[in-house]
Each structure stands twice: as structure tokens, then as C-alpha cells.
Structure 1
Amino acid sequence: MKKLITSLMVSLFFVLTASAQKQITVDDFTTKPTFYQKTVTGINWMNDGKFYSALADNKVIKYDITSGQAVETLVDGTTLNPKIEIEDYSLSADEKKIVILTDSKPIYRRSYTGEYYVYDLTNKTVKKLSSTGRQSYATLSPDGAKVAFVRDNNLFYVDLASMKESQVTDDGKFNAIINGSTDWVYEEEFGFVTGFYWSPDSKKLAYYRFDESAVKEYNLQRWNKGQLYPEDYKFKYPKAGETNSTVEIWITDITTNAKVKADLGTDKDFYIPRVKWTNDPNTLSIRKLNRLQNQLDLIHTNANTGKSSIVLTEREDAYVDLEFIDDLTYLKDGKHFIHSSERDGYKHLYLYSMAGGLVKQVTKGAFEVYEFLGYDEKAKLFYYSSTEVSPLERHLYSISFDGKKKQRLTKNQGSHAINMSKDFQFYIDHHTSASQPSVATLYRSKGNTLVKVLEKNESLTSAIKEYGLSPKSFYTVKASDGSVLNGLMLKPANFDSTKQYPVLIYQYSGPNSQNVTNSWGGSHFYFHQMLTQKGYIVAIVDSRGTGARGEAFKKVTYKQNGKYELEDIITTAKYLGSLSYIDESRMGVWGWSYGGYMSSLAMTKGGGVFKMGIAVAPVTNWRFYDSIYTERYLQTPQLNADGYDQNSPLTFAGDLQGKFLLIHGTADDNVHFQNSVVFQEALINAGKQFDSFYYPDKNHSIPGGKTRHHLYTKMIEYVMANL
């Protein structure tokens, strides 16, 4: 009788909890700021170490670091003549000028055009940078005297004293020659679009030159432009195994107009993922990567002659992971640089002499350095964040130059994203955990002392309580080779372990990705929370091939994308199905992009495990995807045809089982709509029934409040009807 009364009380508690829980609507996470997470953004640390500037309410405001209080408005866009809507800004090195971006218009994920203005903080005047056409990526020279920019695939600069505009290149042409910026595949896979660099003495400009004439074009049709006929948009997109752009690095001396080309050898089929100046204005640093991306050369080039020498070489049996290429840092002593490598099985920092001789390994252990934050020359300390506590967490560390004094600076469990001041006196810690949204806190580095809490996210914390959001619970699963997979679950607030629930597995699974972390939110978090309110368990898993676990765990998938990831998703499904509170006959899977590829593969090659699947913007055969990303993990189709075809949903279309929804944007410049069209044809030819939906003129992210509202509504209705 006592057990019965207790059981009734527990049941009553869950009923009361459920009734008190405010219900999430799709509007709450698409068109309304219900779950908006505030943060401290746009921080620009100023020179004297006592102030920073930030953009707020169309003003660039100067703040006192220690108090967090505004002390001066540097420029107010509403009072300028003409009035300017400030979208972004940059300060000159002497902090006497501000370059302002306005009226930007996107091209692809990172590229854009806009209008730039230069505001003089001394005489309070504003001038338009150029009146001869829109500009991109305006960048001040170190001495603050000039601004370089790109227009119509050519490189220019303006002398701010005279406002004279000079043209560095004149052969730029759409879909042919690009100067000072990047082609589509570099922008997407190497993550940058500004392809020019001022020398430290402001006398030279180094820049990329792409010849993409021989690259094949992809044709996007734009339908919803209010025109009688659709518009064709053709752009250069090198697919796996196809011809890439030819890339060169040029250096121009703006005092003499002399130009030299960096000597990078006779081979033309390579990549240049990064270029930066050393502290020597006559030495340019270039990183060269072979086509298969298993050899990376660090090259130093004489900026006056173009003569080059290889300083060090990284070779891998699989591929050189480029997630850490921005760690390369030249120390101010002019004698050393920091380079990161996975040579001991984990990503760590190494100190080299300028000639390329290894001085020492700075960090060691069975953990990954996540980010190198810099070297404090005065205190002789390196700062970095790592996974040493757990692959699920990120913490800030310092270590002395001699490697004898290592200190963990962040104490609270969870994930810490660090923004450090240029002089290393202060840092802002953006801390979050599975149970706590972001809290931004300012610390003084010396003594690691708290200065001020900048943002607590109190309104979001209140919303979390009001809506009764489900906490994350973590679990692990053993893969077939004994590897431990990390996963997390979201359960209904009124969860009853004596009942059985349907489960929807969400995964991304792409190389070096990570979805399971001790942090707040995550991809599609509030969509998943809404499903828990409707009685579903949502489970997430990081398969083999994902990141933060070392090189062996990550690179086991080399040359066979999808194989081990699918095994692990099925293993996870079987583990979940074995739990008493999960209905193994009602298991679903979904994902977006690489995750859409995996959910498509799970419903075909893994057919019979899942009752329902949703794939958004999936790759359906890696032959359709771009050269840089695909060949890094699979080699070329010419070298590894089976790796492409034996893990392709197209190959296994005839094995589709269960309800399946395929979604894609027709203007996806990244994962082309072609993937879904060809997959649909394969399913039709196999006699398989399925559901599909396309979003007209939407790119890979299927953006827009109304569009996202429609998308999530469709997915929620599909899950509820079929799982």
C-alpha cells in the first residue's frame, strides 16, 4: 500500500509539472525572441589595455574594462552626414580612424559587397571610401594611412590623405580571374574571403590570384524573382575529382609598383589555405597543401624576389586536419613561431625556430588543444584552451615558456569560450554548461581575478523555468571496435520510467564535428525541446570520426565516409531500444547536411532499424560535392571509387524502409539541389514511396523567419504523424 501511495504521488507530481509547463510554439524559436541568448559581442580591445570598443545602437562606444561602463561614443551613425547604418567597423592601429561598413549584400556564406566610409576621430569628419562602385573587405594598413579593398575581382587601395584610389590588378573577371579574394570552394572550405594582406611596414600588399577559367560551372535557377522566366546563375564549383582553380600568390610594392610572384614550385594542383606576414616586412609566410591534403608545407617567401624555402613539412597517412591552421603565430622576438600538429596523436602546440628547427613541444597529453590564444611576451606565458578535463568541455590554461608551470584558469564545469585582450591583461569568459545558458564574465589575467559579470542571461534563465525545458542527460555507448561514443538525451518533463517513449535520434556525424558537449543549447535545441513536450525522447550521438577525441578516433573513417558513422548510429539505436522506457518499434532519425546524408543512409543501407527519417539538404553521393572537403576525407573518385559508391544513399535506394521525408532548398550553392533530385529519381526507379519538399530560392541554411517556421512545423507534424 505504501508503494502504491508513493507511485500515485509521483504520478501526480508529473501531471502537475506537465500542466504547469508552458508549451513551446514554433514561433518561440523562429520569429520571436523567447529564447534569445544575450552575449557580449563585437569586442575590440584597445591599445592601452584599459578600454574596449563595441557596436551598440548604431554607435561605436568606448567602454572602461574594469567597470564595463561606457565612457565615450567614438562615432554615432545617426549624427553623421550622410547618416550611416553601421554594420561593422575597424579601428586603425593608432585608433585615430574608423572604417565603417554599411549596406552590405551577401554573395555566398562569407562573401559580400558593401559601402565603406572612413571616420576621422581627430577632426570628426567622414568620407566615403570610394565612389566608383561597391567594395568588399576594406582593410586598413598598419600605419592607418591606406585602405585596401576588392571590387569586381580586382584589388585596389586608397590613400586616405589624398583619397586617391589606385588599382593594383586589372585582369579580374567573373568566373575567370579573381584577385585579392577567394573562389567559392576556398571560401566554403578554408573559411575566408579576404585574400590580401598588408606587410607590417605598410609598404607591400600580398594577394591571392585565382584562375578558375578551367573550372566547370554549376547552374542555379532562381525562380521567385517576380519574372516571367527563371534566372540562371552560373558559378564555378569544382566537384570531387574535377579541375580546381590555379592559385598564385603575388606581392606588390606600392611605393614602386613592382610585383613579384611567390615561387611555389612547378606543380599547379595544390592549395594555399593560409597566407600571413611574419614580423619581418620582407618575409611572407605561405602554407601549401597538396591536392590529397596529406602534406602541408610551411613556406617563407622573400617579398622582394619571390624566392621561397620550405621551413617545415607535416605529412599524414590520412589527411592534415586544417581545423587548427590559424594557430600559426610568429613571436615578437623574431626568433620563434608556434605551430600546432597531431604528430603524437593529439593536437598540440610546438615551438620552432624561424629556420624550422623544433625547439620543444609546448603541450602534451591525451587531450586536444582547442584554440591557441597567444603568447604574453612580458609574462612569458602561453594561453590556450583545451579538452584536458573532458572531451565534452573546454577550459582555459596558461603554461610558461619553459613548460614547467601549467595552470587551469577556468574552474566551473562546462564549456568556456575565451576572448583575450591584445596585451593579455584581461579576458572575457563566455561560460555555459548543460544546465546553464551563457554567462559572460571579465577577468584580470594576473592572479586570475574576477572583475565583473558582464551578462547573466537572466531573462533566458526565467524562460527556461517558465517553459520547463528538459535537462540534458549524458550516456555512452560502445562501438564495434570498443570505442566509447558520447551521447545525450532530452526526456519529457513528466518522464515516467515505467512507460515507453518513442525516440528521435539527431546526429551530424561529420569529420571533426561535435554535438555532445557540456554546454547549453545546440543545433535545433528548441525544436528538440518542443518534441519532448509532445512526449518524445530526443537522443544525440557523436559517432566515430567526430572531434575532440584524438587523431585515431577522428581519422578511422578515412576513405569511407558514412561506413563507421552508420554502424555507430545503428549501435546507438539498438542500445536505446534495449532501455525499458524506449519503444524500439518507434525510433526515428534525422539530420541536416552531413547529418542529412547520414539519415538518408540510415533509412536505406541501414533500412529496417528506423520507423521514420528526415533528411534536410543531404549529400547523396560525394561525387556531387566540392573537391576540397570531399577529397580530404575520401581521396578522389578516380583513386577511391568504392569509398564514394559503397556508402552512398543512391546505391541503396532500393533498400529504403519506413516513412522518409526529403527536404532541400533549390538555391543551395553548397550541397546542390541536384543531390536530392537524383536521389528522388533513384527512389522512384526502385518503386519506393517517400515524401519530399523543396524551398524555392533558399540556400543551404534554408533561412528566413517564415521559412524556418514552415520548415520546423512541417518536421514536427511529420514526426508526430509517423513516429
Structure 2
Amino acid sequence: MPSTKTEKEKKPVTIEEAVGGSFLPQLNGVIWSAEDPDEGVFVYREPFSGNLVVEDVTHRKKEITGQGEVAKGGGKVTFVKGADVKDENGKQINFHNFKISPDMRFVLFFSDKKQQWRHSTFSKVWLHDVSTHSTQQLGKNITEPTIATAEWSKRSYVSFVENNDLFLIKDVHNVKNQISITNDGNKNIFNAVPDWVYEEEVFSGDTAHWWSPDGNRLVFLRFDEAAVMTYSFPIYNPTEKNGKALLYPDTVDMKYPKPGTPNPKVSVHVYDAVTGLKSSLKAPSKRASAEADGSDAVTIDVAMAQAREEKLVTEVKWLSDSKLIIRETNRVSDVGRHVVYDSNNAKKDASGSAGTIEGKVSRREMTSKTGGWITVDQDIHTLLDSGSGGSTEYVDIVAVPNGYRHIAYYRNAEQAQPIFLTTGEWEVEKIVFVHNRRVYFSAAYPRPAVRHILYVDVPKNGEKVTPEERPKSLTNIHETAWYEVEFDPKGNYYQLTYKGPHLPWVKVFSLRDPKFELVLQENNGLQKIVADYHQPQRLFYNITLSDKTIVSAQDFRPHDFDGSGAIRYPVLIKVYGGPNSQMVDAKWSMADWATYLTCTLGYIVIVLDGRGTGLRGRAYRDVVSWELGAYESHDVVHAAEAIRRLPYVAQSKVGIWGWSFGGYLTAKALERDSGTFDLGMSVAPVARWEFYDTIYTERYMKTPHLNKEGYENSSVHINKGFQNSQFLLAQGSADDNVHFQGSAQLLDQLTGHQIRGFWFRMFPDSAHSIDKRGAYLELYQFMTRFLVYNWGAGGKRLFRYKDTKETIE
């Protein structure tokens, strides 16, 4: 319901409200049940009782609206009573996650979560028998959370990782009867879970083992970090209470490979849960020949043979019950290949308990000629759920000849050349669902700032294929919007989440019944709240530079913006700019610092995406190879110069800020000393690429040995640009991602170059997100004080610092 209040009657947003979550929408949806045979079934935990409830969408709609009919077999039932999930002392277990067995007879409950890195945690894991109400704890250590991950197989076997070793439980009635698949796990050996660099830069998750579709075989990765060097940082106060620093700080020692130093050694293994055979995957012994395969294929095979000890494994996927495909690249990600392994062809050694499986190359790729890199994605989806039997058909996301990433179809595991199902100067972001030979995917279509859900059909044998430039869609592609989707595995219902730019909502729709709609979240309460506040004006557009480069831009303007030129506004440019990233998007943005800066302080905030960012094709993305920071800072500076010429911009009050790569790009923009920016704010920036991790950095920069000049040019150099601009630097001392070492380097350089008057803040024990013990709000208050000190208020405001207890003189 639109607000009846005039702009004069509305309230200004406080900084606490903007960054503290007051305007965050509720996006809670359903967790689809793949295990229940009926369609549209979801499972949820009741917050107070802890009961697990199974319900279907037709029942939920009838319950909420009184409309429609409940499907046959539909309804709502308490699947597990929370009071029945008890430890050995009879105490109810407060679980944070659960996984139901495929036969729905058992549930794994996870409790006592302890965070490790960004994605990884340790938990206590409990196996609950639904019929007997008995609960058993997994693992050897029952007092501490030590289990990193646990998974079900289709046969209701349980695999789990404890202390970096992989275990199997086949008899779920007796969890102590566990099989040790590995027994060499330690602080340097990771079995079936990723080490830090693979967790952060490859899988973006906490698991490195995957069951075959029939649940009989388990493929897992083994990481050997023995040669990886250690980075250490202090923990001054390990508690959540302020002012509890230790007499002698704790120290975190982490294996962190930096450019040019040893990487973890990775190997791939398959365990047969039926026979007990554990096999190692062996690289193909047969190499390509120039006559049969071409010179590029020979180059790739030779490079991969030379890189055997340093190869990266970036994707593992079962294509059938026995065949799997592995994507591997060399260390610097410019040559790679897909290798197919058939676990039915394992050759046993003399003992009969171990074996080897030799692979066969199916696809090869090389980007060294174009100067780009091989992206790290897990995009392969099989057609197993489409009734393909023993077929190894699959789809993937592959760049078409003009460099845009599209849906590619492979008729079998051995096929080398893709059959493209989509094409055009737009990019597919990810495949979200494959069912009945139809591929649903999200795409930056028809322009980069939006996300729409589209689909395309996979051809049957013999059918002629014409790639589609304009695929059919589930969402209205003429709408500026950002959609995300999750399908019920049965293939009829889907949960659609609208994330902006207007107030987000979550709804369930049906593919078969266009009239079916179940509203899960509309955020009506938030709608009433934000209606009482000033909201920024928002605008998407492109800036064309003098060299014809197009930079995407998104403006946030004050609610009372005057574009006539009578009033001149300070402008703060926000950047990230990392390779293949995106900041200019159509998502809901009220819960952002920009809302406070625009509507309360009267600034304009402009977000920019220049060259190197994603979803605009390979040529736009790959140009930054070998020298990060050069093209990115060029585009930002020249776009800012165009912005400064606008009649409503205060030319002496144009600033730039960013976090992580954005903090680095901010510093590189100031380094250019163009006179464009009068201030810059770098949060948790990279200072030298030699300080960052191998897999990310070498993908774009290669090794320091191969690219000494590029590394030197890409470093942040403190020069007159910092003398001529006001500079703010902030970082957490316990940043495991971008180490505080980089900020220390910058501080040392600022001192050495006699740069005076810069602002600096170190947040004790905060990681990359800077959120320890109230640090997140204080960071934004710190940056706000810096802006107000240098610019005062903007627009029509006469600034009075009412939003914090501090006063600006």
C-alpha cells in the first residue's frame, strides 16, 4: 500500500537503521523434500517445539487462503517430534540443521555449530530413527563438535568427515560400526573436505566428496598441505565481550599458499561401498597426437603432464552410476581438460583392496592464446533424471566463439565439441534445474543488471539444433528485476524469489497449473515501515568513455534530488571491480549505507562496473589478465571524470570507496593522481598480489616468476595521489582472507612517503567481514565521520550529527 505521507512528513534514515538490518526483507521460503515421493512437499522446523513438519504446497495454500483443493496424498504431518531428539542424558538436542535419509526412515541432526572459515563449520551430528525415536551420536569425539560434514547416499548409507578422515556407516542401526575409508587425516592431510584455499576459491563450500546416483560409490578429493606455508595472526580477545584481551594473545596458524609458493597437492579417489575397493584416479597415459587431435591438444596434454604435482581439480561430477567427469587445470588456469573415468574399470593391485582407474580425455581448453583464464565453476548437470538410463548426456555452461557463456549440450561423456542450445550477446549465470530434457537457468538477460529465469529444451537423438538467442522465460524479461528460483525435484512446483528493485517477495508457482500461486513472503510489515522513510531515487545507465568502453552505472540519489544544477551534490563512488564480479544489480537496496548517505546526508552514491567484471562476455572480462588494477582503475577514473562534469555534481567533492578488491581498486584509483577524487576509503584491501592466495591470484596474474613486471605494476604504490587526496584505511586484525599484512604494508609506505592526515582503524579480532563485537556499525560510523569531516552535508541539508553520540565540530 503506497504511503499517504508527503516527503516532508517522512523520516530520515539513521545509520543504525541503514546498516543494522532494519530494512532487511524476510526471504524465508520452503526447503523442498527430495525424499518424499509426492510433489510439492517441503520440510521445516517449528521454532519453539523443534518438531520437523512435512507439508505440501496445496495444503499450505488451503490453510492460508481457504482456496483451492488439497492434492491427493497432500496435507501436513509432524514427521519428527523435537522432544524425541535427545542426547544420551535425555536432554533435547537444539539442532541447527537436518538431513533426511532417502527412505525417510532416519534423520541426521546437526548441533553445537562451531565456525571455522567462511563456509566450513564443525558440529555434533546425531542419527535419529524416526520409528523408534532413538538417537545416536556419530563420531569418536562425543564431547566436542568435530564433524565437518555428513551426507546420505541413495542407499541410506552415511558418509562423514571427522578430524580430516572419511568414514562410512552402512548399518545405521549401529553407528559405532563405522568403516574408516581413510586413516591418514591430520593437520596437513584433508580427506573429503577442502582445505582453506579450495574452500574459498574453488568450491565455495565445505564438502569434497560426492555419492554416485545409485548410492554405491563415493568419490572424494584428498589434499596434502605438507608443503604449504603457514600464515599466523593473533587473537587478542577470543570472547564476544569487549575489553577481555588475553595477557598473551592466542595465535591462529593457517596453511595459506601465496603466489609462487607450494600449493596443496590434490588427488581423486573412488570408494566402492559394496565391495570395499578404494581406487585412485590415474591421469590418462595416452596423449593427443597432432595428426588426430591438433597441435593445441598436444600442447594441453603436455602442459597437464608437466603440471601433475600442481594441477587444480575444479569440478567433480557423476554422469552415471559408474562414470564420472573431472575438470582439471594447470596451476595458473590457462590450460585444462575434462577427463572421464569409469569406476567399473578399476584395476586391483596385488592386495585386492586398492585399485587404479585410468581416465580418458574428453574435452580440452586453452586460454593462453587469448590472455584470459579458465573460470572455476561447477556447472555440469546430467540428464539422469530425464529417464536416460545408462546414458551419460549432460549440459554445461561454455563460452561460444564470441566469448559469451551459454548452455552447451553433450550427447555422451566422450563428446569433445559442444552443441550450443543458446547463443547471443548475453550470458547464462547458472543452470538451476534439469527435468524431462528441459534446462532451466538464470541469465543476465537481456542486460547485465537483471536476472531472469529462462529455459531451453535438450534435443533428442537426430534432432537438428538451432541455438536460441531469445529463450522462453518463466519471468517477465521486459521487467527490470532480479529473480532467483528453486525447483521441487519432482518438477512441477517452483519457488520464485523476487529480490528487487522493489520490495522482495517469495512465492510458489506451478508449471502445470498457471493459476496456482502460494504467497510465502510479501514483506507487508516492512512495506509499512519503509513507507515512513525517505527513499533514494534509483537509476541504471551506461557511461561510454572516450575509448568506447562502456561502464555500467547505478545511481542512488536523494529523495529531493534537484538535477537543474542549482544545487551541487557530493558524489561517493562505490566499486568492487574484481574479475567476473558484479556490483550494479537490480536487487533491493534500502538496507544499505547508501540509503543513509543519500536521503539523510544528501550525497549521491554511484556504483560502477568497468572492465574485468562479469556477464558481459570474455573480451570485456579477460582484458585485465596479467596486470590487475590497470584497466579497472582506468575505467573508474574516466567514468568519474564524466560524472564530475554533470551540472549537479560538486566537482571538489567526488570520492571513491570499496571493500576487499574494491578497497584495492580504490587505492589504485588514487594512485593515478588524476585529480578526480578528493578522497578515498579502502576497507580490507589487497596491497600486493604476492600477499594473496595462489588459486585466485595466479588465475589472473600467473606466478611472480612468469610475470614479475605485472606483479610490481599491480601493487599499490603510495605516491602524490595519496598526498593530494584524503585517505581512510580500515581492516580487521583477524582477516583470514585478505591478511592484515597488506594494511601493514600500506601503513609503512604511508609513513615512508610522509603522507600525513590519513585516517586508520584496525578492528581487533574481526575477520574479512569486520563484524566482531560491534565492529560492523562502528566501521560505517567511522567512514561517515570521515566524509562529514571532509565534505559536510550535501544537497539541501544543514548537517547535524544526531545519529551517533559523537559530534563533528
Q: Please give the TM-score of this superposition, normalised by the length of structure 2.
A: 0.83
1:351 and 2:409 are equivalent in the alignment: yes
1:181 aligns with: 193
2:425 corresponds in structure 1 to 366
CA distance in 2, matches of 1:454, 1:413: 22
Change in CA separation of 1:321 and 1:429 when aligned onto 2, cut-off 3 Å: farther
Q: CA deviation at 1:79?
A: 5.0
1:251-270 map, 5 Å: 251-264=270-283, 267-270=308-311
For the Cα contact (< 8 Å) 1:67–1:452, is it kept in 2? Answer: no
Of the structure 1 ranges 155-164 and 210-219, higher mean CA displacement relative to structure 2 is found in 155-164
The question of 1:516 aligning with 2:584 is answered: yes
Deviation of 1:627 (Å): 0.5
Task: Give the aligned partner of residue 433 of structure 1.
Answer: 500
**Displacement, 1:91?**
1.6
CA apart distance, 1:330:
4.6
Matched, 1:291 2:291: no
- Are residues 1:309 and 2:360 paired? yes
Return the alpha-carbon distance in structure 2 between the equivalents of residues 471 and 55 of structure 1: 39
* Alpha-carbon separation, structure 2, partners of 1:255 and 1:384: 36
Greater strand content: 1
Cα deviation 1:7-46 (Å, max 9, x = unaligned)? xxxxxxxxx9554232222332455x42121013451234
The counterpart of 1:381, out of the listed 435, 438, 459, is 438
Which amino acid is the alignment partner of residue 285 of structure 1? I
Contact 1:42 1:55 in 2 (8 A): no
1:131 positional shift: 4.7
When residues 606 and 55 of structure 1 are mapped into structure 2, their CA distance, relative to the original with a 3 A threshold, is: farther
Whether the 8 Å CA contact 1:351–1:358 is kept in 2: the answer is no
Aligned ranges for residues 89-104 of structure 1 at < 5 Å?
89-104=98-113
Instruction: Establish whether residue 569 from structure 1 lines up as the match of residue 636 from structure 2.
Output: yes
1:451-483: per-residue Cα shift (whole Å, max 9, x none)?
Answer: 222211112222222112113112321134312
Deviations, residues 550-569 of structure 1 (Å, cap 9, x unaligned):
11111111112111111111
Q: Deviation per CA, 1:95-139: give whole Å up to 9, x if none.
A: 222211111101111111101112222333322223535211111
Aligned amino acid, residue 362 of structure 2: V
Structure 1 position 80 matched with structure 2 position 69: no
Alpha-carbon distance in 1 for matches of 2:486, 2:549: 34
Paired residue for 1:20? 9
Match of 2:543 in 1: 477
CA distance in 1, matches of 2:109, 2:603: 48
After superposition, give the CA deviation of every residue in 1:268-323 in whole Å (9 maximum; x if it has no partner).
1110112232222x323211111121223111123223111111122223344435
What SS does the corresponding residue of 2:155 show, helix, strand or coil? coil
Match of 1:487 in 2: 553
2:752 is aligned to 685
Q: What is the one-letter code of the residue matched to 1:63? A: E
Q: 1:241 corresponds to which residue?
A: 260
When residues 591 and 168 of structure 1 are mapped into structure 2, their CA distance, relative to the original with a 3 A threshold, is same
Is 1:600 the equivalent of 2:667? Answer: yes
- When residues 480 and 153 of structure 1 are mapped into structure 2, their CA distance, relative to the original with a 3 A threshold, is farther
Classify the secondary structure of the residue corresponding to 1:476.
strand
Relative to 1, partners in 2 of residues 1:704 and 1:67: Cα closer, same or farther, differing over 3 Å? farther
* Residue identity matched to 2:641: K
| CA RMSD after TM alignment | 2.1
CA contact (8 A) 1:409 1:448 kept: no
Say which is worse superposed, 569-578 or 444-453, in terms of deviation. Answer: 444-453
Question: Contact 2:633 / 2:668 at 8 angstroms: preserved in 1?
Answer: yes
1:381 shift after superposition? 2.0
CA contact (8 A) 1:30 1:705 kept: no
Contact 1:437/1:457 (<8 A) preserved: yes
What SS class does the counterpart of residue 115 from structure 1 fall into? strand
Query: What are the within-5 Å matches in structure 2 for residues 137-176 of structure 1?
Result: 137-144=149-156, 146-158=157-169, 159-163=171-175, 164-174=177-187, 176=188
Instruction: Name 1:12's counterpart in structure 2.
Output: none
Give the Cα–Cα distance (whole angstroms) in 1 for the partners of residues 149 and 503 of structure 2: 33
C-alpha contact 1:596 1:617 (8 A) present in aligned 2: yes
User: What is aligned with 2:517?
Assistant: 451
Q: Give aligned pairs, total.
A: 699
Segments of 5+ residues of structure 2 without an aligned counterpart are 64-74, 239-244, 285-304, 348-356, 460-464, 792-809
Report how far residue 181 of structure 1 moved: 1.0
In 1: Cα distance, 2:721 partner to 2:107 partner? 60
2:445 is the alignment partner of 1:392: no
Q: Contact conserved, 2:85 with 2:133, CA < 8 A, in 1? A: no
**1:63 pairs with 55, 69, 85, which one?**
55
CA distance in 2, matches of 1:431, 1:232: 43
SS in 2 for 1:446: coil
Determine the C-alpha separation between the residues in 2 that align with 1:593 and 1:634.
Answer: 17
1:128 aligned to 2:137?
yes
Question: In the alignment, residue 137 of structure 2 is paired with which amino acid?
Answer: K
Task: Measure how far apart 1:257 and its partner are.
Answer: 3.3
Q: Check 1:79–1:104 CA distance in 2 against 1; reply closer, same or farther (3 A cut).
A: same
- C-alpha contact (below 8 Å) 1:503/1:587 kept by paired residues: yes
Is the CA contact 2:19–2:593 (under 8 Å) kept in the aligned structure 1?
no
Amino acid at match of 1:210: F
Deviations 1:322-345 (A, max 9, x none): 354233435441141112211321
Unaligned runs of 5+ in 1: 1-15
Give, in angstroms, the shift of residue 84 of structure 1. Answer: 1.7
Distance 2:29 2:120 in 1: 21
Tell me if structure 2 keeps the 8 A contact 1:38–1:457. yes
Tell me whether 1:327 sits opposite 2:340 in the alignment: no
Q: Which one is further off, 420-429 or 21-30?
A: 21-30
Matched, 1:49 2:58: no
Q: 2:527 aligns with which of 423, 444, 461?
A: 461
Contact 1:347 1:550 in 2 (8 A): yes
Residue 273 of structure 1, aligned match among 314, 337, 342: 314
Q: Distance in 2 between matches of 1:155 and 1:470?
A: 52
Question: Superposed, which structure 2 residues align to 1:577-596 within 5 Å?
Answer: 577-596=644-663
How far did residue 374 of structure 1 move?
2.7
What is the SS of the residue equivalent to 1:296?
strand
Equivalent residue number for residue 23 of structure 2: 35
> For 1:298 and 1:563, how far apart are their aligned partners in 2?
33
> Contact 1:501–1:537 (CA<8 Å) still a contact in 2?
yes
Residue of structure 2 in register with 1:212 after alignment = 225
Q: Write the distance in 2 (CA, Å) between the matches of 1:215 and 1:354.
A: 34
Deviation larger for 307-316 or 18-27:
18-27
CA distance in 2, matches of 1:624, 1:607: 27
Shift of 1:383: 1.4
3-state SS of paired residue (2:150): strand
User: Given that residues 88 and 100 in structure 1 are in contact (C-alpha distance below 8 angstroms), is that contact kept between their aligned partners in structure 2?
Assistant: yes
Cα distance in 1, alignment partners of residues 626 and 513 from structure 2: 48
SS at match of 1:298: strand
Match of 2:567 among 494, 499, 504: 499
Structure 2 contact 658–664 (Cα < 8 Å) conserved: yes
